Amino acid sequence: MSLSVLELIAVELERRLKTLAAASSYDTRLSEVVRPKRLETFTPKHLQVILTQGDSQRIDELSYPGNPPAVAYRQVFNIRCHVMPSERNCEAVDIVINQMRADVISVVCTPQADWYQFDGQSIDAQFEPEETISSEGIDGINLPIAIVYRTDEHDPYTRRA
């Protein structure tokens, strides 16, 4: 199955996050990285990342004419970092969240020189204002990242520089 440019970006983002689920040089060891299904969804876990897509918008300033024209899009991915430490853990929950936040940002921004290109698929990326998660018994933080990419106007599978 061919993957669209957008899906290739999602796959690369998920791959980078999963680096934290395996043994690595980072202090955070994720329990899992989940892209939720439609119905049978995840169960909350400690040090879990839920990766979803947010809003997408077309960016006319970064699109350009041609045959075919190149169209730029800005896609937001929500990186929801969940923490559920033991009730008997005396450590402040913010310490756990801050550690996880730092390691998630670090691993997403690796390799540092061209991290925003997501394996050559995108042209820019930046983290957006964070949102605190504290509801339904789950604590954590959402780290939205906006990724800008360009494709042929009529072919979302073809990346444009």
Partner 1 sequence: MSLHDTIIADASAVFCNLEDFGETVTYYNRDGDARDIKAIVVRDALEVLSEAGDVTSLSFAVHVVNSATLGISSEEIDRGGDMIEFPSQIGQEATRRSIVRILEHDEGMISIECR
* Structure token digits, residue 156: 């979302």
41 binds partner 1, rule: CB under 8 A = yes
Tell me whether residue 77 or residue 118 sits nearer to partner 1 (CB atom).
77
Measured torsion, CA atoms of residues 146, 159, 57, 117, in degrees rounded to the nearest 10? 10
For partner 1, the binding residues in 46-65 under the rule CB under 8 A are: 46, 50, 52-54
Pairing of strands 32-34, 48-64: parallel
Number of neighbours of residue 126 by Cβ within 10 angstroms = 11
Tell me whether residue 37 or residue 154 sits nearer to partner 1 (CB atom).
37
Tell me the backbone φ, ψ of residue 99, rounded to 5 degrees: -65, -45
36 binds partner 1, rule: CB under 8 A = yes
67 binds partner 1, rule: CB under 8 A = no
The one among 39, 90, 113, 161 contacting partner 1 by CB under 8 A: 39
Tell me whether residue 51 or residue 107 sits nearer to partner 1 (CB atom).
51
The one among 18, 44, 109, 158 contacting partner 1 by CB under 8 A: 44
CA–CA distances in Å: residue 61 to residues 70, 81, 138, 156: 11, 33, 39, 18
Interface residues with partner 1 (CB under 8 A) are 36, 39-46, 50, 52-54, 78, 80, 84-89, 131, 133, 135-138, 142
